[in-house]
Structure 1
Amino acid sequence: MTETVASLDSETVETPQKLRIEVLASGLDGPRKLSFGPDGALYVAESGRGGPGASIPSPNIPGAVLSYGATGAITRIQDGVVERVVTGLPSLALSDGSDAMGVNDIDFDAAGNAYALLGLASNPANRDSLIQVPDFAQLIAIDKFDGGSSWTRLIDFGTYELNNDPDGQSPNTNPFDLLIEDNTVYVIDAGGNNLLSQRAFSHEILLETVFPSRSAIDPRTGQTITQQSVPTAITLGPDGAFYVSELTGYPLQAGAAQIYRLNAAGQPEIYAGGFTNIVDLAFDKAGGLYVLEYDADGILTGNEAGALIYVSPDGKTRTTITDALLNPTGLEIGAEGDIYISNKGFDAGQGEILRLSQEKPFDPSPIYDQVKRYTTTIAADGDIADVYYPVLPNTTADQLPIALMLQEAFVDKADYSNYAKEVASYGFVVVVTNNQRTLTTPDGQTLSGLLPEEQQVNEVLAQIKLEDSDTTSPIFEIADTTKLGLLGHGLGGFVGLAAIQNIVRSASTKDYTRPPELKAGIFYGTSFQAGANSGIFPTIENQDIPVGLIAGTRDSINDLGEVASTFVKVQDPPKALITVEGANFYGIANQDNDRDPSRPTLDQATATGAIGRWSGLFLRSHLLGDQRAFDYVYKTAGDLDPNVNVTSVR
């Protein structure tokens, strides 16, 4: 959703944003502004939930009162740990703890000292006569972060408002936003409609500017009324000027909020308008401006949905980054560009801190740079197997699922080394066996050689379980033996499809039961026919096990039509048919073979890389639950790979 920026030359450009939204903290009491400390931790001002103490009139609900309690806090979020490091700060709230007034902001000076800003949203005389808690409407220094209640009052903005009332609309103070810049404190007073400062933490408060009121129509009476600005945030722009946002006062209508830029004389000039109930703002490193709306439709509509809007560095486009927010109250941008938001900022016990991170385009490249190989003997039958596995930077137990490669008839395991390395680099222990068998063909001839069969599935699974538990094995405790995927070439893929269906189609296997560890299979140059070249394609009852088929367009042994006919017969989704343009039947092997008379037009290394890449991504989708790999396989249709087309059902 894109809108134009008022008061600026603009054009409307759709800029899709794909964000990952994480909840870093929950259960907070009225979280407001937030700031990173010198230790890299994120500190959050919690306004609290009030308590049973003295009361003042609510500024928002006629006849209601806000009652005092020492329930405000400063919360630290660091390395996944959420901890209240300052407690007992003053708070005022409704009886249910909502609509709190208390700690509004926290910031740090150049030396790393912490300061917090307390609000009030009332005539400061009420603080002194009714509540009799002088900490409200003050800047305080946090003495230490140790989970206790220790701070020092520094600047009394409430008394300044009571004595001066700069906007002339009767004393009201709510210090709401704090910025420390060049040893000067800048404070936005939302109640007083002004920007105040104090240089070098002296005792003299300076009035920087008052934000102007304007006329508005009262929706209840139709009469013209004065609408206050209610400034809410200040930030330093890339041009060295201050920028200030506003919520606007009653009637709080949509589209009325503006962003001001303070000119060289310190006076506010409209930078952008047409916003609604802005509560915070921040520039990114590129000079673009993030604008946080407390209520995107106007507070009086009853809809609590807020929004985060991005104004481009040139000011010409405005993009809604997300509207999946509820009454957000604070915004901070991290060093890496992630966005942090206080959400549900006026609710007790429901407040959240969200992290929004821009999803980078999915990289289909291998996960691991280095793959090793060793040779083992399958204990059940004495066959020799090559085992490929990635070198892990940080070894975690049960990290790599197993992938068994079922070879084409009479193709040696060594001919699949490039393919096996590619698949292993996506996070798998890949096993390629030389399955030596002798069998009798239907016409009575004896056939000996490298031939795949279904019983390899259980034999190899049992072998890898042994080696995963062997302290001398290269794959000791890194294989996930609860997850097995099948790979296959030609006849090997045929056998793999039979194994997935829990049936036997090879002549040498007499008894086979599909293991529960078998979770997916993807095969190259494979068709599944009732008889060799019969043209009859039976239903493949895969029983919800995902199946992928990869076909080369130059394959004349199991041609694309036969592979596609097999794909149609796969009963249960998800399933994918991946076509590699220019590859023949031996595109999966290290070298081409003239047993396929159709010559490839895609070079061998590119073909093998593409087949290995899509095999690895397919298995990551289903054995590792990699959602981004799943989306790449099933949703891009191969558009991002110049040699590949994908047809899928999910």
Structure 2
Amino acid sequence: MSKRAPLNRFSLSVAILFSGTTLLSACGLTPVQTTPAAGLVVADHLNSPQGVFLSSDGALYITDSGTGGPDTYTVPGGPDGGGPTTAHTGMTAAVIRVSPSGQRSTVALVPSEREGTDTSGASRLTELGGQMYVSSGHWIAGASIQQPAHVGTLVRLGATLTDVGNLWAYESTNDPDKQGADSHPYALAAGPDGQLWVADAGGNDLLRVDPATGTVSLVTVFDPVANVNPPANTPPVSQAVPTGIAFLNDGSAYVSLLPGYPFLPGAGKVVRVAQDSSRSDYATGLTTVTDLRAGPDGNLYAVELGTFGAMGPTPGTGAIVRIKAGGVKETVLTGLNTPTSITFNAQGDAFLTVNGAAAPGTGQVLRWDRLTQRPALP
């Protein structure tokens, strides 16, 4: 997700470990199983799911990272002297739709790229002007092949797939953060200005894309985050890594930042990006924030992936944090396994992807009824 320095690298996929989907209705039909303490399972057997979105017609959309594929290419190694790495690719990443009546369909297949345990594919979804869009793929300078279609781009879904914003082309030409051309279009939202807003987790910036022309414009670049009391032999700063975008009624964009290695607890935050592109901290003291969503109650909800140990994320340490006016934080849900994305219906029911950084086939979408009405946990 960030640049390919081994100590800074981060991908919200199976790589975060360091080293035939069953879907039922998202809107009230019987789920796969009922486990009240852990949520209701409405989708399982997913591969590192990164996004979930409820469309205006009540359908639930899910993004699946896929498992790579049979074709190969090479990408450059990190600055530690490691040689090129072989990447495996194929059309195994998916956008899945569940209609309000429970009809399941695969809307689109897009490329999945796998390097070892690092897999990227379909990331996040949004709706604008009656069209659905998905952020897709991760690309870097020095790959042995040219950028494929639907990789490092925003894709408009339909009878055919259309790349409407080439984020890799913008990154490779401009490299706004000046840390080497690396583009992972990740967080995606429909802005109040009628534009598509995307956080590039490889480029560490916030961009706008005109859906009519595909023109990409820079909103802001996120500075590296200082590591306070880091473990020995770790860098003094980590890349900011933007992961979520939400809008409130003030017209500002709220962006979650997940600083990279060593993934220190409390290092994450939500930054308010005003209409003039000025930035200010809105909520601090968060941990490995992977998504940010405005709930129907007018509050922001941050998804925390969990704390990290020597082997990667510690199971069961993920959480959902409500962020109220003024950046006041209160935890409303804990005990989650590597959650990555959240969405809400009008009643405040939450749909959440879990096991987003776990073994292929273990990903799920879970539902918690009336999550926005839950009191803060002690």
- Shorter chain as denominator, the TM-score bin is 0.7 to 0.9
Q: In the aligned structure 2, how far is the partner of 1:105 from the partner of 1:28?
A: 15
Q: Deviations over 1:184-215 (max 9, x none)?
A: 11110011010111235324211000011133
Q: Residues 241, 50 of structure 1: CA spacing in aligned structure 2 closer, same or farther, 3 A cutoff?
A: same
- 2:107 is matched by which residue type in structure 1? V
Matched residue, 2:145? 130
Runs of 4+ residues over 6 Å off in structure 1: 58-64
Bigger RCO of structures 1 and 2 (CA < 8 A, at least 6 apart):
2
- The aligned counterpart of 2:249 is 238
SS at match of 1:100: strand
Instruction: Give me the whole-angstrom Cα distance separating, in 2, the residues matched to 1:283 and 1:38.
Output: 15
Paired position in structure 1 for 2:22: none
Report the counterpart of residue 320 of structure 1 in structure 2: 331
Distance 2:89 2:273 in 1: 36
Aligned residues: 331
Q: TM-score, normalised by structure 1?
A: 0.47
Q: What SS does structure 2 have at the residue aligned with 1:31?
A: coil
Question: Secondary structure of the residue that 2:173 maps to in structure 1?
Answer: helix
Which of 197, 215, 221 aligns to 1:186? It is 197
CA contact (8 A) 1:19 1:356 kept: no
Partner of 1:357: 369
Extract unaligned runs of 5+ from structure 2. Answer: 1-35, 374-378
Question: Superposed, which structure 2 residues align to 1:406-485 within 5 Å?
Answer: none
- Pick from 174, 180, 190 the counterpart of residue 164 of structure 1: 174
Contact 1:184 1:201 in 2 (8 A): no
For 2:98, the equivalent position in structure 1 comes to 77
Residue 65 of structure 2 corresponds to residue 44 of structure 1: no
CA 1:55–1:323 in 2, change beyond 3 Å: closer, same or farther?
Answer: farther
Going from structure 1 to structure 2, the CA distance change for 1:131 and 1:46 (only over 3 Å counts) comes to: farther
Q: 1:286 corresponds to which letter in structure 2?
A: D
Decide whether aligned partners of structure 1 residues 314 and 207 sit closer, same or farther in structure 2, where only a CA change above 3 A counts. closer
Q: Is the 8 A contact 2:95 2:109 kept in 1?
A: no
Structure 1 residue 53, shift from structure 2 partner: 1.5
Change (3 A) 1:114 1:263: closer
- Candidates 72, 87, 105, aligned match of 2:124: 105
Corresponding position: 1:255 with 2:276: no
How far, CA to CA, are the matches of 2:310 and 2:209 in structure 1? 33
Higher fraction of strand: 2
How many angstroms does 1:183 deviate by? 2.3
User: How far apart, CA to CA, are the structure 1 residues paired with 2:126 and 2:54?
Assistant: 8
CA pair 331-278 structure 1, distance change in 2 beyond 3 A: same
Give how far 1:326 is off: 1.2
8 Å CA contact 1:339, 1:355 repeated in 2: yes
Match for 1:90 among 108, 111, 135?
111
Quote the Cα distance in structure 2 between the aligned partners of 1:293 and 1:315: 16
Instruction: Give the alignment of 1:574-593 within 5 angstroms.
Output: none
Partner of residue 310 from structure 1, selected from 310, 322, 335: 322
Contact 1:124 1:161 (C-alpha < 8 Å) held by counterparts: no
Residue of structure 1 equivalent to 2:233: 221
Question: Do residues 68 (structure 1) and 83 (structure 2) align?
Answer: no
Query: Contact between 1:19 and 1:359, CA under 8 Å: does it hold in 2?
Result: no
Q: Output the CA distance in 2 between the equivalents of 1:359 and 1:123.
A: 39
How far the C-alpha of 1:76 sits from its partner, in A, is: 1.2
Change (3 A) 1:309 1:91: same
Unpaired segments of 5 or more residues in structure 1? 1-17, 145-149, 362-650
Residue 136 of structure 1 aligns with an amino acid whose one-letter code is: V
Q: Report whether the alignment pairs 1:280 with 2:297.
A: no
Cα drift, residue 54 of structure 1: 1.1
* TM-fit CA distance, 1:359: 8.0
Query: 1:239: how far off?
Result: 2.5
The verdict on how the C-alpha distance between 1:81 and 1:29 changes in structure 2, with shifts beyond 3 A counting, is farther
* Cα offset, 1:285, TM superposition: 2.9
The offset of 1:177, in angstroms, is 1.1
Report what 1:140 is aligned to.
Answer: 155
Tell which structure's C-alpha radius of gyration is larger: 1
Alpha-carbon contact 1:20-1:357 (below 8 Å) kept: no
Partner of 1:12: none
CA RMSD for the aligned pairs?
A: 2.8
1:28 to 46, 54, 63: 46
1:642 is matched with which residue? none
AA in 2 matched with 1:350 = T
Distance 1:299 1:100, change over 3 A: farther
User: Identity over the aligned pairs, expressed in percent?
Assistant: 29
Name the aligned partner's letter for residue 103 of structure 1: A
Whether the 8 Å CA contact 2:96–2:105 is kept in 1: the answer is yes
Q: Quick one: distance in 2 between partners of 1:220 and 1:132?
A: 38
Matches of 2:153 and 2:104, distance apart in 1: 24
Is this contact kept in 2: 1:19–1:358, CA < 8 A?
A: no
